Chain A
């Protein structure tokens, strides 16, 4: 037997750069905000655009957060995720139309209650749909990426057609609840009330997701499963059940995002989820597959970038987020906060 001395570990002192490195993605958001302030001469316009960008980012986060977990944990490329956004929007809008008395009343409490019911309805519907989608469409193609792309895109098309069958081919216009219409003025800037609600809701959902992932055992299993599902199973956890739970939760979150996105645009269509998928994919990729924090930061960057560039150079707005994705992937090829090392 070796007579080598005891192994004596020491804690090395990290340099400032090493300590800052993990926070660099987080710092990108304030950096972009400051860049916006420098580029936009009018402070009130900048403030309006910033709140608008944050609100847009929060809604993209709501829609994308489920997809990043499904990507990371299940290694499933789900092009059908947009279907949950569309269905959520339609169910939510239907509930709001049924609750016309509550949404038309000039009472914030009644308006928020109506929205709450719409969100619950949408999340229940899309959660149930997610369960069926996973069982029927995704389960047979685990481990086969090409098949996943084809079959989930097929699923998306089927769901879009079902929406047309159920709600008709026309877009449905919806006005926001009475108390959430209009804007408040702050420091000379007009801040839309609905966008402030979207920012608040996004923050609450992000905090809840983060708490669940960081502070609960189920969150621990999900995070570990994103890294090494095989080992999680060898520790005694039924990852298959966790997979299904995450898929359902991700679908329900997409439904929530769909309601908020529909009210944001004040119109819903069968194809709205499909259209949002471009932004959702950008956010998931630049955030790092499987990373909720990365998804959150990525969504804020995309929302802010879109609003600033649309104001400064409208023609460039369409490609600005593609440029952002290219820049971030050149800096960090696995995304800002990579979780999945290799699959």
Chain B
């Protein structure tokens, strides 16, 4: 395997008195989709928020392409090429779809060809281009949230549960868009509870429990081994 785009080495993150991450070791291969899996509350979101710098690692290192970004401020991490799609989508409801996208293109004006590609992935965004983002439906908001990350080429995408609570039609739109992104060679660390999506998109997978990575390997291996799923996550993914 080539040099990983992202490496976490023994990362500990505390939030107030709670020790959420307890020594996370994780690698995201370049140009691949890595699924971060696990039950609710095991530290998946905290891992993403620690990488982007919203929460600080108290111990350990976060390396982006070999560069230590552990202590870097969030804007510097973003400028280094990390796109972040939070679990709550983080859209600016009082801004229009256009304004949300303009803001997301931090390095300059939006590239026309890139925008066309985003519109192809998410047609509703073109329809509601001048509408306030707060007036979009839940699925459209999620599309906007991912489109903001896609509007510029990033070295790494951190995406937190993009299909959470969405109707099947929208889930398939999301999955298609993420496949498009993957086809362009993007490196993605994706938290996903929908195993169908995880199985379809993931190249590698890491399973978390109690603030640690308890298993990592090929997604294929996890997807085909029901006993492994049962042991790691206490559920059979064959049921999905």
Contact = CB atoms under 8 A, between A and B. Distances in A.
Interface stretch (A96-104, A142-150, A229-237, A249-257): A229-237
Contacts of B128: 9, 11
Contacts of B75: 233, 236-239
B172 A341 contact: no
Contacts of A227: 92-95
A7 B143 CA distance: 12
Contact of B139 (A7, A233, A239): A7
A187 interface: no
A231 B168 CA distance: 27
B92 A231 contact: yes
Given A220-B95, A228-B90, A231-B86, A1 B73 contact: no
Interface residues of B, number: 38
| Residue of B92, B170, B171 contacting most chain A CB atoms (<10 Å) | B92
B172 A234 contact: no
Interface in A285-330: none
Given A2-B168, A217-B102, A223-B92, A234 B84 contact: yes
A198 interface: no
Nearest to A221: B103
Interface SS of chain B: helix
B169 A224 contact: no
A282 interface: no
Contacts of A2: 168-169, 171-172, 196
B200 interface: yes
Interface in B70-110: 73-75, 78-79, 84, 86, 90-95, 99, 102-104, 106-107
A5 interface: yes
Contacts of A339: 94
Given A235-B104, A235-B148, A238-B75, A1 B196 contact: yes
10 smallest A-B Cβ distances: which pairs?
A: A4-B169, A236-B78, A231-B90, A236-B106, A9-B124, A233-B74, A2-B172, A2-B168, A234-B84, A224-B92
Given A7-B170, A230-B54, A234-B86, 16 more contacts: A2-B169, A4-B169, A4-B171, A6-B169, A9-B124, A11-B127, A217-B102, A223-B94, A224-B95, A227-B93, A227-B95, A230-B90, A235-B103, A236-B79, A237-B103, A341-B93
